[in-house]
Structure 1
Amino acid sequence: MGVARRCGRVCGVAAAVLLWVGAAPAARGQTEPLEPPDVAPSVTDLLSQAFLKADEQRALRIDHGIWTDADLTTPAEHARAALTTGALGDVSLTDPATPAIDRAEAMELRGEPAKALELLGEDTSARALHIRAAALTDLGRFDDVAALAPAASAIIKDSSVPAADTAHAVRAMLLITHVLGADDAKVVGYQGMLDALAAARDTRDRLSWQVFLAEALLLHEKGRYQDAGAALDTAISLNPRAAESWALFGEVLVDGLEFPKAEGVAARLDVLAGGASPAGAIVRARVQLRQTEGEAALAALAPALKEYPNHRGLRAMEIAATAASFDFDLCKARLDAFDAIAPKSPQAYLAAGKAMAEARQYDEAAAYLRTAAERAPNWSDPVVELGLSELQAGHNDASLAALEKATKFDPYNVRADNSLTLLKELATYATVESPHFVIRYKPGVDEVLAKEMPEPLERSYARVTGNGPGGIDHQPSHKTVVELYPDHRWFGVRITGMPALHTIAAATGPVIAMEAPRDGPNHLTGPYDWARVVQHEFTHTVTLSRTRNRLPHWFTEASAVYLEDAPRDYNTVQLLTRTFDTDTLLDFENINIAFARPKRPTDRGLAYAQGHFMYQYIIEHFGAKKPLELMDLYAKGVREEAAFQQVLGVSREKFFEDFKAWGRDQLVSWGMLASDASPDINTLMAAERKTDAKAPEEPTPALLEKWLAAHPADPFVLEQVLQEKLKGRAAGDKALSPEVMELAERYAKARPVDPLPHRILAAHYLASDTPALAIPHLEYLDAREQHSAAYAVELARQYLAAGDVTKAMEKTARATTIAPYDPATREFAATTYLRLKDYADAERNIAAMVVLEPDRPRNKERLEAIRKLMAGQR
Structure 2
Amino acid sequence: MTRDRIVPRSVLVTALALLLAAPIVTAVANAQDAAAPARRQDPTVIPRSAASRAALDSKAATPDALKDLRVRYGAWEQGDLDTPLRAAEAAVWAWRWDEPALADPTVPAVIRARALVQQGAWDRALAALADDASPRATALKGIALAGAGKLAESRKALEPLMAEPMPAVVRTQGQRDLVLAKAEALEAWSMTGRVEPQLFEAVMAALGAARALDRTDWEAMLIEARILAARHNRGDAWKALADALAQHPRLAEAWRLRGELTAGAMESADAKAIADAIDAFSPACSAAALLRARTALMLDDADGAEPMLRQVLALAPAQPDALAYLAAMHAVRFRPEAMEQALADADRAAPGSPHAPLEVGRMLSRRRQYEDAAVLLRRAWDRAPEWSEPPMELGLMDMQSGEDARALEALGAAVERDPFNVSATLSLRLLKDMAPWPVREGKHFTLRSQPGIDDAMADGMLSQLDAMHDEVCARLGHEPSRRTRIELMPDHEWFGVRLTGMPAIHTIAACTGPVIAMEVSREGSRKKHLGLFDWLDVVRHEYVHTVTLSQTRNRIPHWMTEAIAVDLQHKRREYKDCQMLAAALEGGTLFDFDSILLAFVRPAKPTDRAQAYAQGHWWVEFIRATWGDEALRRMLPLFAEGATESQVLAQVLEVSKEEFLQRFTPWASAQVKAWGLAPEPPADALLGKDRVDPVSDKELDLLLRAHPDHPDLLELAIRRRTERGEGDAPEVIALLDRYSRTRPVDPFPHRKLAEVALIAGRDADAVPHLERLDAVTDRENSYAIELSRIARAAGDGARAGAHIERAVRINPFDPSLRELAAATQLEAGNLAAARVHVAALGVLEPTREQHRRRLARLDEMIANAP
TM-score (norm: length of structure 1): 0.87
**Where does residue 687 of structure 2 map in the other structure?**
685
Deviation of 1:603 (Å): 4.6
1:449 aligns with 2:457: yes
C-alpha change, 1:483 and 1:596, in structure 2 (3 Å) is farther
Does residue 411 (structure 1) correspond to residue 413 (structure 2)? The answer is no
Structure 1, unaligned stretches of length 5 or more? 1-14, 23-36, 690-695
Question: Residues 631-653 of structure 1: CA distance to partner in whole angstroms, max 9, x if unpaired?
Answer: 45554566657766776676767
| Per-residue deviation, 1:545 | 1.4
Displacement of 1:425: 1.9
Partner in structure 2 of residue 241 of structure 1: 250
Between 1:403-412 and 1:774-783, the stretch displaced more is 774-783
Q: Secondary structure at the match of 2:846?
A: coil
Selected match of 2:49 from 40, 43, 52: 40
Once the two structures are superposed, residues 59-91 of structure 1 have per-residue CA deviations (whole angstroms, 9 ceiling, x without a partner) of: 222222222332233333333332222221223
Asked if structure 2 preserves the Cα contact closer than 8 Å seen for 1:517 and 1:530, the reply is yes
Output aligned runs, 1:288-299, within 5 Å. 288-299=296-307
1:496 aligns to what?
500
Matching residue of 2:196:
183
Matched-pair contact (CA < 8 Å) for 1:529–1:818: yes
Structure 2 CA distance for aligned equivalents of residues 103 and 830 of structure 1: 76
1:550 is aligned to 555
Cα contact 1:297–1:321 (8 A) shared by 2: yes
1:702 matched to 2:706? The reply is no
**Structure 1's 165 and 810: CA in aligned 2 closer, same or farther, altered over 3 A?**
same
Give the conservation status (yes or no) of the 8 Å contact 2:290–2:321: yes
> Which letter does structure 1 place at the counterpart of 2:210?
A
Look up the match of 1:74: 83
| 2:393 corresponds to 1:385 | yes
Shift of 1:432: 1.5
1:262/1:587 Cα in 2 relative to 1: closer, same or farther (>3 Å)? farther
Amino acid at match of 1:546: Q
Alignment correspondent of 2:44:
21
Tell me, which stretches of 5 or more residues in structure 2 are unaligned? 1-37
1:559 and 2:551 matched: no
Correspondence list, 1:637-656, <5 A: none
**Structure 2 counterpart of 1:532:** 537
Q: For the residues of structure 2 that align with 1:594 and 1:450, how far apart are their CA atoms?
A: 36
State whether residues 262 and 283 of structure 1, in contact with CA within 8 Å, keep that contact through their aligned partners in structure 2: yes
CA–CA separation in structure 2 for the residues paired with 1:101 and 1:776? 76
Aligned partners of 1:727 and 1:79: how far apart in 2? 69
Q: 1:139 to 1:698 in 2, by over 3 A?
A: same
- Report what 1:720 is aligned to: 716
The answer for the alignment partner of 1:111 in structure 2 is 120
Aligned match of 2:241 = 232
CA deviation string 1:1-28 (max 9, x = no partner) = xxxxxxxxxxxxxx9x954626xxxxxx
Matches within 5 A, 1:568-583: 568-580=573-585
Whether contact under 8 Å (2:797, 2:824) holds in the other structure is: no
Task: Give the distance between the partners of 2:756 and 2:270, measured in 1 at CA.
Answer: 52
Percentage of identical aligned residues: 37
In structure 2, the partner of 1:846 is 838
Matched residue count:
823
Cα deviations across residues 550-573 of structure 1 (Å, max 9, x unaligned)?
Answer: 344333221110111432122332
Q: Is the 8 A contact 2:764 2:790 kept in 1?
A: yes
- 8 A contact 1:503–1:524 mirrored in 2: no
Task: Report the CA distance shift for 1:126/1:587 in structure 2 as closer, same or farther (over 3 A).
Answer: farther
Identify the residue that residue 692 of structure 1 maps to in structure 2.
none
Deviation at 1:586, TM superposition (A): 5.9
Q: Deviations over 1:779-828 (max 9, x none)?
A: 32332232333333333333344443433333343333333322222222
Q: 1:236 and 1:521, CA in 2 relative to 1: closer, same or farther beyond 3 A?
A: closer
Deviation at 1:482, TM superposition (A): 0.7
- State the 1:197 CA deviation: 1.1
Alignment-derived partner of residue 180 in structure 2: 167
| Deviation for aligned residue 1:720 | 2.9
| Pairs within 5 Å for 1:606-755 | 606-621=611-626, 624-625=629-630, 627=632, 631-632=636-637, 634-635=639-640, 659=664, 662-676=667-681, 679-680=682-683, 682-686=684-688, 697-724=693-720, 737=730, 739-755=731-747
Distance in 2 between the 1:714 and 1:19 partners? 44
Asked if 1:509 is matched to 2:513, the reply is yes
Answer whether contact 1:126 1:155 (CA < 8 A) is retained.
no
Partner of 1:8: none
Structure 1 distance, partners of 2:203, 2:492, is 35
Could you tell me how far apart the structure 2 residues matched to 1:61 and 1:723 are? 62
In structure 1, what is the Cα distance between the partners aligned to 2:326 and 2:689?
A: 62
SS of structure 2 residue aligned to 1:88:
coil
2:59 pairs with 1:55 = no
Q: Which residue of 2 aligns with 1:196?
A: 206
Deviation by residue 1:474-499 (Cα, 9 ceiling, x = unmatched): 21111001111222222222122222
Give me the whole-angstrom Cα distance separating, in 1, the residues matched to 2:816 and 2:144.
Answer: 68
After superposition, where does 1:780-819 map in structure 2 within 5 Å?
780-819=772-811
Judged with a 3 Å threshold, the aligned counterparts in structure 2 of structure 1 residues 491 and 130 are, in CA distance, closer, same or farther, namely same
Amino acid at match of 2:356: A
Select 2:360's aligned residue among 352, 357, 363.
352
Pairing 1:153–2:157 present: no
Supply the distance in 1 between the matched residues of 2:747 and 2:79 (Cα, whole angstroms): 70
For 1:125-144, list aligned pairs within 5 A: 125-144=134-153
2:815 paired residue among 814, 820, 823: 823
- Looking at structure 2, the residues matched to 268 and 842 of structure 1 have their Cα atoms a distance apart, in angstroms, of 60
Change (3 A) 1:134 1:809: same
Q: Which whole-Å CA distance do the structure 2 matches of 1:77 and 1:687 have between them?
A: 63
TM-score by length of 2: 0.87
Q: 1:526 to 1:54 in 2, by over 3 A?
A: closer
Find the residue that maps to 2:263 and give its secondary structure.
helix
More displaced stretch, 158-167 vs 851-860: 158-167
Shift of 1:511: 1.0
Match of 2:317 in 1: 309
User: Matched residues in 2 for 1:320 and 1:555: separation?
Assistant: 23
The verdict on how the C-alpha distance between 1:367 and 1:742 changes in structure 2, with shifts beyond 3 A counting, is: same
Deviation at 1:866, TM superposition (A): 3.5
Work out the CA distance in 1 between the residues paired with 2:43 and 2:443: 54
Are 2:739 and 2:749, in contact at CA under 8 Å, matched by a contact in 1?
Answer: yes
- Letter of the structure 1 residue corresponding to residue 485 of structure 2: V
Q: Which amino acid aligns with 1:381?
A: E
Cα distance in structure 2, aligned partners of 1:517 and 1:171: 45
Partner of 2:131: 122
Question: For the residues of structure 2 that align with 1:121 and 1:411, how far apart are their CA atoms?
Answer: 34
| 1:863 aligned onto 2:865 | no
| Alpha-carbon distance in 1 for matches of 2:88, 2:761 | 90
The 8 Å contact of residues 827 and 846 in structure 1, kept in 2 or not, is answered as yes
Shift of 1:173: 2.6
Return 810-819 or 454-463, whichever deviates more: 810-819
Counterpart for residue 13 of structure 2: none
Moved more, 295-304 or 113-122: 295-304
Distance in 1 separating the partners of 2:452 and 2:43: 47
Distance change (3 Å), C-alpha of 1:708 and 1:419: same
Contact 1:326/1:637, CA 8 A, preserved across alignment: no
Aligned partners of 2:47, 2:796: CA distance in 1, in Å?
71
Amino acid at match of 1:778: L
Deviation at 1:593, TM superposition (A): 6.3
Determine the C-alpha separation between the residues in 2 that align with 1:102 and 1:763.
Answer: 74
Q: Using the TM superposition, give the Cα deviation of residue 379 of structure 1 relative to its aligned residue in structure 2, in angstroms.
A: 0.9
Cα distance in 1 between the residues matched to 2:359 and 2:523 = 41
State the one-letter code of the partner of 2:688: A
* TM-fit CA distance, 1:268: 4.7
Larger RCO (CA within 8 A; separation ≥ 6): 2
